[in-house]
A = this chain, B = another copy of it.
Amino acid sequence: MKAPRGNALIGQSGGPTCVINQSLVGIVEAAKASKNITRVFGALHGIKGILEGKLIDVGKESKETLEGVARTPCAALRSVRKKPTREECQQALALFKKHDIRYFFYIGGNDSAETTHIFNELAVAENYDVHVFHVPKTIDNDLRVNDHCPGYGSAARFVAQAMMGDNLDNRSLPGIKIDIVMGRNAGWLTAASVLARVHPDDGPHLVYVPEKVFSLERFVADVERVYKQHGRCLVAASEGIHDAAGKTLVDSKEKDSHGNAQLSGSGALGDFLAAHLKQKLGDKLRVRADTFGYLQRSFPGVISPSDAKEARQAGRTAVKLAQKHRHGSVALIRTPGEKYAIRFEHTELKNVAKDTRAMEASFLKGDNDIDPSFLEYVRPLAGELPTPVRLSDFPLG
Q: Write the residues of chain A forming the contact surface with B, with a CB cutoff of 8 angstroms.
A: 12, 15-16, 18, 41-42, 44, 55-58, 60-61, 65, 68-69, 71-81, 99, 161-162, 164-166, 168-169, 171-174, 177, 264-268, 270-271, 274, 287-295, 297-302, 386-397
**Cross-chain contact of A161 among B290, B297, B299 (Cβ < 8 A):** B299
Contacts of A41 in B (CB 8 A): 396
> Do B288 and A294 have beta carbons less than 8 Å apart?
yes
> Do B79 and A172 have beta carbons less than 8 Å apart?
yes
Contacts of A392 in B (CB 8 A): 60-61, 65
Smallest Cβ distance from A111 to chain B, in angstroms? Answer: 13
> Do B172 and A74 have beta carbons less than 8 Å apart?
yes
**Cross-chain contact of A75 among B12, B166, B172 (Cβ < 8 A):** B172
Complexed CA–CA distance, A84 and B174 (Å): 19
Residue of A76, A77, A299 with most partner-chain B CB within 10 A: A299
Beyond the given pairs A65-B392, A75-B172, A264-B288, 20 more chain A to chain B contacts, judged by CB atoms under 8 angstroms and listed by A's residue number, are A44-B393, A56-B391, A57-B394, A58-B391, A61-B391, A68-B389, A73-B165, A73-B168, A73-B388, A74-B172, A99-B396, A161-B301, A165-B298, A165-B299, A266-B289, A267-B270, A267-B271, A267-B290, A291-B291, A300-B388
Name the residue on B nearest A59 (C-beta): B394
Smallest Cβ distance from A67 to chain B, in angstroms? Answer: 8
Smallest Cβ distance from A321 to chain B, in angstroms? Answer: 24
Within the oligomer, what is the number of copies of this chain? 2
Contacts of A162 in B (CB 8 A): 295, 299
Contacts of A74 in B (CB 8 A): 165, 168-169, 171-172
Smallest Cβ distance from A294 to chain B, in angstroms? Answer: 5
Name the residue on B nearest A168 (C-beta): B74
Contacts of A265 in B (CB 8 A): 177, 274, 287-290
Contacts of A389 in B (CB 8 A): 65, 68-69, 71-72
Contacts of A290 in B (CB 8 A): 265, 267, 291, 293-295
Contacts of A391 in B (CB 8 A): 42, 56, 58, 61, 65, 69, 76-77
Contacts of A60 in B (CB 8 A): 392, 394
Smallest Cβ distance from A106 to chain B, in angstroms? Answer: 15
7 A–B contacts, CB within 8 A, in A order: A68-B389, A78-B172, A177-B265, A264-B288, A265-B289, A266-B289, A290-B291
Name the residue on B nearest A42 (C-beta): B391
> Do A301 and B393 have beta carbons less than 8 Å apart?
no
Smallest Cβ distance from A81 to chain B, in angstroms? Answer: 7
With contact pairs A42-B391, A386-B300 given, residues A169 and B266 touching in the complex (Cβ less than 8 Å): no
